[in-house]
Amino acid sequence: MFDKSLRVGTRDSQLALCQAQKVLDLLKVAHFKTQLVATKSAGDLNLSQPIYAMGIQGVFTKALDIALLENRIDLAVHSLKDVPTQLPQRLVLAAVLERGSASDVLVQLRKADLSQVSTIATGSLRRKAQWLHRYPEHHLVNLRGNIQTRMDKLYSSNWEGAIFARAGLERAQLLGPHFQELDWMIPAPAQGAIGIVCRMDDSELIKELQKINHQSTRICVDIERCFLRILEGGCSAPIGAHAEVAQKNIQFKGGVFSLDGQTAATTFKEVDISDGQNLAEEAAKEVLAKGGDQILKTIKHGIQ
């Protein structure tokens, strides 16, 4: 029996605290003792720069990584889409909770005719690139801040809408009646999933955390994150990936987009779940062969 009181680390934003509470509730059901440790991240402190321009990976996870390595917390709770595919040495993704919605949504103050020139807000290069791919005549404006801050900015604006992750709005109880689900937009790898990171040498804890791990979600997000890692994308490249289990198969869609949205290289694959271990590599090779390699090269060298 694991009788140690677990120090659970989280960012102190509204959404992060909601997600941490979900983990605390599951740990309580599994008979763990817990205490919550909240901290601010670089991504929370710097709201003026777009995430991709901040020059470091893991802007929302670095502070908690350091807390883990300095033994100030025992595990860290993250929106898994914020977690770099390459974790710091001595840290491991120990568990993933059952996923919420992976979809992006357009939140609107009023119903707008998107066939007309519109102004849409987002801080995500992936969302911006895919939106411009579909609506090349629209204007995109940068939107940063925690989820409540972004909603407040939308409500005080004259924009036609702003793009959010549906799961985040639902968890923070901010999803109102005026939204469109963007089923054509490929989500960020691991969007909608909550991940738990801990120290690699804490083998007893890693074993115990399997009690709250959701295996089919873990399979899917591992594929998505592997696809992202192979393409060497991060916050600076518009890459989308989504896998889901459908009966005995895994369905996967992924893609990379030019920053202006004019060019896209995408793929859709469906394989037996037993063949899932090669899915990310096969999908990434196909995307690169379809022109994704040139898109990524152009972005890397700042030609666009």
Which DSSP string do the residues of 41-69 spell out, in sequence order? -HHHH--SS-GGGS-SS-TTTHHHHHHHH
The residue behind tokens 């989500």 is: 187
**Under 8 Å between Cβ of 152 and 133:** no
Do residues 295 and 260 touch, judged by C-beta distance below 8 A?
no
- Is the Cα dihedral 42, 57, 82, 105 positive or negative? positive
**Are 20 and 10 a contacting pair, CB within 8 Å?**
yes
Q: Residues 69, 71, 73, 74: what is their CA dihedral angle, to the nearest 10 degrees?
A: 90
Q: Check if 3 is active-site.
A: no
CA distance 143 to 152: 11
The DSSP output letter for 95 is E
Tell me which DSSP letter residue 278 carries. Answer: G
Question: What CA–CA distance (Å, rounded) separates 65 from 61?
Answer: 6
Which residue is listed with tokens 């060497």? 232
- Spatial distance between the Cα atoms of 270 and 83, rounded to a whole number of angstroms: 26
Parallel/antiparallel/unpaired status of strands 264-272 and 194-199: unpaired
- Tokens 């102004």 found at: 119
Task: State the virtual CA torsion across 177, 178, 182, 188 in degrees, nearest 10.
Answer: -80
Catalytic annotation, pick one of 82, 104, 202, 222: 82
Active site residues: 82
